[in-house]
Chains A and B, each alone.
Chain A
Amino acid sequence: MIRFEGVLKAYGSLEVVKKLDLHVLEGEFLVLIGPSGCGKTTTLKMINRLIEPTSGKILVNGQNIMEMNPVTLRRKIGYVIQQIGLFPNMTIMDNVDLVPRLLGWDREKRINRVYELLELVGMDPEVYANRYPNELSGGQQQRIGVLRALAAGPSIILMDEPFGALDPITRENLQDELKNLQSKLNKTIVFVTHDMDEAMKLADRIAIMKDGEIIQLGSPESILRNPSDDFVLEFIGKHRVNSCELEKVESIMKTNPVTTDPDRKGTEMLALMKRKGVNTVLVVKNDKQLIGVVTIEKLDNKQNLTYKAEYLADTGLPVITAGSPAREAFDLLVSQKLEYLPVVDQNRGLLGLVTRTSMVNALASVVWGEEELS
């Protein structure tokens, strides 16, 4: 999609980007990260020719951008900057449909597009289309900044620290929204930040830059697992300690949950629960395949006691697939207020159970270290 081939940018004798080779894949969310002054913005701006390389080639969709008209090129690439840069003299409508207007779309199509986009981020077009930027909060303004970049439907979006100036809560919201948008729209995004949290959250791949060079390129996980040198190690510092994020759900699950086969009656299950001191049993078929769960509340009913487990089982409970990060189990437990979460394999074969207790133990080991975990 975007290919840098030996791209060099120098100001006088100062090489700010050194012989860069990078291939940004189609539909990929690539984050450029590194300390201030390492050449991130320069790299980004060379893609839409706001800065021109001293030597080397940049190809977009296989075409050398130096052979394209810069204005045409830029209209095909969305651009979002940290300072937002909405035009204060234009309404939200006019700001968002700027590129479609430059491209000569007809009016009706433009209005429809703006309405569609505003709805996409939950801003009522009737309320906001005719407002001016200074009537919006910072977070709302940058939402519009992102919509403006999306308006003409470019397949590539460049973002230079777009959320850097927002307060932390707004920033998180916009990150979530962007991630959500990306999963719907599948753009190729090059995103500059110096915030590792942000990179971890958003990136498909992260390129870590230092002094004009990419020193490591890979998925967030692979960078955390195998930092290439001390610089990277230091840069990702706190994320490495937070190894919980890397752990698979299997490592924190209990492997011997109380189970029953589908033929067992309610009375028998009640006895089983008493004996084992639990208030739920998992119903499994053929010793393995998870059907559902029966809770003790379900058995607090004379009639239900005579039914088989098969009919009593609640089959709609959320499960998590082995191999998922433990983090996901944690999010599910918290967000859905679950007491437990069965871990299954690809064929819904029961492997174990993550409970709130096992989660707390896992967290404790992160916070206080392994040795204290009994």
Chain B
Amino acid sequence: MSAVFSIALEHLWLSVAGVFLACVIGVPMGIVILKIRVLAGPVMGVIDILQTIPSLAMLALVMFFFGLGNMSLITALFIYALLPVVRNTFIGLTGVKSELLEAGKGMGMTGWQLLWQVQLPIALPVILAGFRVAVVTSIGIATIGTLIGAGGLGEPIWRGIQLVNTPMILSGAVPAALLAIIADYSLGLLEKSVVSRGLQVKNTN
């Protein structure tokens, strides 16, 4: 049991690492294409294409550069997570009503002040939704990481399949499913606690 637990933790760690990298790079990327709007089309286009690569093919391609092991898996997850993170950041930021930007600018806020105090806080729920999708997707994709020698819950699943050993399959599949559900739920809670109450409460009038 404790073995399963530590494998599940490793699985979670691998998935989150990829998404975390995607956030570190993807959120600033979303901001850059907001500010330099001509880049938005090309950048989103490239990310979209990357997203359409089947996961097995992606792993194989990545392995070509990084070899067998966790590094390749994390890189693949990073590439997949980039789309929801960049797209949601961009959509969240462009969704801020223009009158808010005008009011802020008209009162003497600088571009950065507007970004930090108005645009990002208002876009936060959308950005977090992207993050949530990315985490849940990554937990799923990470199960095939074992094919390129990465750790995680993929290993018992694939070995179980080869040995036609149902309990072994379940010992990987059930924790993976639970992990996805728990991650989704906790990220929902996180969203509630970090998003301004003013963006959550329904209009009471």
Contact = CB atoms under 8 A, between A and B. Distances in A.
A89 B199 contact: yes
Interface string A71-82: 111111001010
B186 interface: no
Contact of B103 (A79, A91, A138): A79
Contacts, number: 84
A133 B121 CA distance: 15
A137 B107 contact: no
A343 to B, nearest CB: 47
A79 B77 CA distance: 47
B54 interface: no
B128 to A, nearest CB: 14
B2 interface: no
A88 B110 CA distance: 19
Interface string B69-107: 000000000000000000000000000010110111111
A259 interface: no
A278 interface: no
B198 A91 contact: yes
Interface string A17-54: 00000000000000000000000000001001010000
A38 to B, nearest CB: 20
B198 A134 contact: yes
Nearest to A103: B108
A133 B203 CA distance: 9
Contact of A71 (B97, B102, B110, B196): B110
A16 B105 CA distance: 22
Contacts of A99: 107-108
Contacts of B97: 83, 85
A158 B121 CA distance: 27
B21 to A, nearest CB: 27
Contacts of A84: 99, 103
A87 B117 CA distance: 9
Scoring B105, B106, B196, B204 by chain A CB atoms within 10 A of each residue's CB, the highest score goes to: B106
B121 A89 contact: yes
A89 B107 contact: no
Given A74-B107, A102-B113, A135-B204, A88 B99 contact: no
B122 A88 contact: yes
A167 to B, nearest CB: 12
B96 to A, nearest CB: 10
Contact of B102 (A50, A75, A136, A148): A50
Given A85-B99, A88-B196, A89-B118, A137 B105 contact: no
A307 interface: no
Nearest to B101: A85
Given A81-B99, A137-B205, A88 B106 contact: no
B71 to A, nearest CB: 38
Contact of A50 (B105, B110, B197, B204): B105
B201 A132 contact: yes
Nearest to B120: A89
A87 B100 contact: yes
A297 to B, nearest CB: 49
Specify the main secondary structure of chain B where it touches its partner.
helix
A135 B199 CA distance: 11
B109 interface: yes
Contacts of A83: 97, 99
A134 B201 CA distance: 8
Contacts of A317: none
Contacts of B108: 71-76, 99, 102
A133 B197 CA distance: 10
Nearest to B204: A135
Interface string B109-153: 110010001100110000000000000000000000000000000
B198 A132 contact: yes
Contacts of B121: 89
Given A72-B108, A76-B108, A79-B103, 9 more contacts: A50-B102, A50-B106, A71-B109, A85-B99, A87-B103, A88-B196, A98-B107, A135-B203, A135-B204
23 contacts: A50-B106, A72-B108, A74-B106, A76-B108, A83-B97, A83-B99, A85-B103, A85-B104, A86-B103, A87-B103, A87-B118, A89-B118, A89-B121, A89-B196, A90-B117, A90-B196, A99-B107, A99-B108, A102-B109, A132-B197, A132-B201, A134-B203, A135-B201
The 6 closest A-B pairs by CB, nearest first: A132-B198, A85-B103, A75-B108, A74-B108, A83-B99, A89-B196
